[in-house]
Structure 1
Amino acid sequence: MPSVAALYRYPAKGFTPEPRDDLLIEPDGRVQGDRVLAFRFATAATPQQRDGLDYWPKDEGLALMQFPSLARLRLQYDSGTRRVRIRDGERVLADADLSADGRRVLEDAVTAFLAGSPDAARIARDGILPLRLVGDGVTSRFQDRPRGYVSLHGTASVAAVDGAVEAPVDDRRFRSNIVVSGTAPWEELAWTGRIRIGEVAFEVQNPIGRCAAILANPDTGERDARLLRTLTAHFDQAAPTFGVLLLPADGPGRIRVGDTVSVG
């Protein structure tokens, strides 16, 4: 039977995954502590509205899709003190809280890093600077879709992709919240209806269409694998797809590493 192999949340959009032993699924279907901060472009520091919900389009803020160099940085967020620490290797670029002054320190550090990276031309485009660090550090809101969703993929699917390219491919490329083992490659893409993970029942929504974010090596920040083409050409997909989106079907709850996954 499939089971949960790993759990992740991503405190800041586009930055370091935080491995977790458990995740709390909130009533609105998002993961507590997931994407509670985001660096937004100067012209997009307030949300849009879509379907009656706040929406922060990923192409109007820092994301791996446009800025693969971000993958090289290591961001740690202490939710208790609401303090952010950003490193490039062993070098600390910034260590600050979420006060107005602290946010400026973090914004300036990330801007300086990108200005000296292969993404320098992108950060210099009109409307991007000055970057604005938004979010209260508590409320999960900066997912790619207005509804949020919880994301899931299988370890066997990762292994299939890894075997098809020369560059290293692991779970980090796909930035899911839930990673499951005990499935066949691509099995999760065929799931429909309701599944249960530990104490939470989910409704499977749809497979996840993928963008250029998965091209970025999570250690070097370089685009080193043509994974979008690999998914379509090697695996005969109509469009590059990896993993599935979920919404809780019976309210909030907690899921844990080792929980069984009941399908159907």
Structure 2
Amino acid sequence: MAHVVALYRHPVKGFTPERVETLTVQPDGRVAGDRVLAFRFADAAAPEHRDGLDHWPKAKGLSLQDFPTIAALRLRYDDAEHRVRIEHDGTLLADAVIDDTGRDELVAAVTDYVLASTDARRLGRPGRLPLVLVGDGRTSRFQDRARGYASLHTRGSVDALGAALDAPIDDRRFRSNIVIDGAGPWSELDWDGEVQIGELTFRTAGPIVRCLATHANPDTGERDAKVLTTLTGSFAQEEPTLGRLLLPGPPPADISWQGGVIRVGDEVRVG
């Protein structure tokens, strides 16, 4: 039986995920508390617009695709206090509430860290500094796509990739909200139609094409695994793909989809 084995949310885009026992999926399909803050470049502090929706391209802010060293930062977010705490290698870099003064403290700490890292050259390009911390700490809005989704992958796919790389591969590289076990490797790529997770029904959207973010070790920030070429080479994929996007599922005709809670251990049914 396929079932949920891990759940994650990512309060600040690109930074340490929080492993949790439950996730609340909102009526818009996004995960509550997921990507509610983001560090954006100076010339990209306002959203772009796509199909009438706000869109925040990851290439225009701090993300693991271009700044792998931020994976080494340990971040905690307190929803009740709207407080962000950032550490590196046991040293506290910042601990601040999301207000004007706190945003300045967090931006200064993260800027200093990146400028002292091997990613400094990228941050120094025109239009990137000063960084801007955007988001209200409550609204989930900084996903890679304008439309809200939850994301999922199977533990079997990650294990198969690790075997091909001859190295252990951590689920956190793939930034998914939901990890399931008890399903065959790559089976999520073939899903079509409805997916039932616990009491929630989703419908499948596209498989997830991966980027260089997956090369970053989630503990050290080093690019230590050639995930993309392994997916296209060892598994003959046309594009490097792992995982699946999920949209709010089709409700009865007279009832709106209201979202709900997913729990570790929930059963997963497809079709």
Considering the TM-score relative to the shorter chain, is it more than 0.5?
yes
Equivalent-residue separation in structure 2 for 1:248 and 1:148 (angstroms):
9
Equivalent-residue separation in structure 2 for 1:201 and 1:148 (angstroms):
15
Letter in 1 for 2:156: A
Q: TM-score, normalised by structure 2?
A: 0.96
Equivalent-residue separation in structure 2 for 1:17 and 1:168 (angstroms):
19
Equivalent-residue separation in structure 1 for 2:167 and 2:35 (angstroms):
27
Which residue does the alignment assign to 1:8? 8
Equivalent-residue separation in structure 2 for 1:122 and 1:220 (angstroms):
19
Aligned to 1:176, what secondary structure does the other structure show? coil
Which residue does the alignment assign to 1:263? 270
How do 1:85-96 and structure 2 match up within 5 A?
85-96=85-96
Which residue does the alignment assign to 1:117? 117
Equivalent-residue separation in structure 1 for 2:166 and 2:233 (angstroms):
15
Aligned to 1:104, what secondary structure does the other structure show? helix
Equivalent-residue separation in structure 1 for 2:133 and 2:148 (angstroms):
19
Cα offset, 1:166, TM superposition: 4.0
Equivalent-residue separation in structure 2 for 1:145 and 1:16 (angstroms):
20
* Coordinate RMSD, CA, aligned: 0.7
Equivalent-residue separation in structure 2 for 1:15 and 1:165 (angstroms):
24
Equivalent-residue separation in structure 1 for 2:202 and 2:222 (angstroms):
35
Letter in 1 for 2:93: L
Number of residues of Structure 1 aligned to a counterpart in Structure 2: 264
Which residue does the alignment assign to 1:179? 179
1:254 aligns with 2:261: yes
1:29 aligns with 2:17: no
Which residue does the alignment assign to 2:81? 81
Which residue does the alignment assign to 1:169? 169
Cα offset, 1:222, TM superposition: 0.6
Cα offset, 1:89, TM superposition: 1.3
Which residue does the alignment assign to 2:158? 158
Aligned to 1:152, what secondary structure does the other structure show? strand
Cα offset, 1:253, TM superposition: 1.2
Cα offset, 1:167, TM superposition: 4.2
How do 1:44-123 and structure 2 match up within 5 A?
44-123=44-123
Which residue does the alignment assign to 1:126? 126
Letter in 2 for 1:142: F
Q: TM-score, normalised by structure 1?
A: 0.99
Aligned to 1:30, what secondary structure does the other structure show? coil
Cα offset, 1:24, TM superposition: 0.8
Cα offset, 1:30, TM superposition: 0.2
In the alignment, structure 2 segments of 5+ residues that lack a partner are: 252-256
Which residue does the alignment assign to 2:254? none
Cα offset, 1:225, TM superposition: 1.0
Letter in 1 for 2:267: T
Letter in 1 for 2:73: L
1:231 aligns with 2:238: no
Equivalent-residue separation in structure 1 for 2:217 and 2:167 (angstroms):
8
1:220 aligns with 2:216: no
Which residue does the alignment assign to 2:203? 203
Equivalent-residue separation in structure 1 for 2:97 and 2:227 (angstroms):
37
Report percent identity of matched pairs. Answer: 59
Letter in 1 for 2:42: A
Letter in 2 for 1:123: L
Runs of 4+ in structure 1 off by over 4 angstroms are none
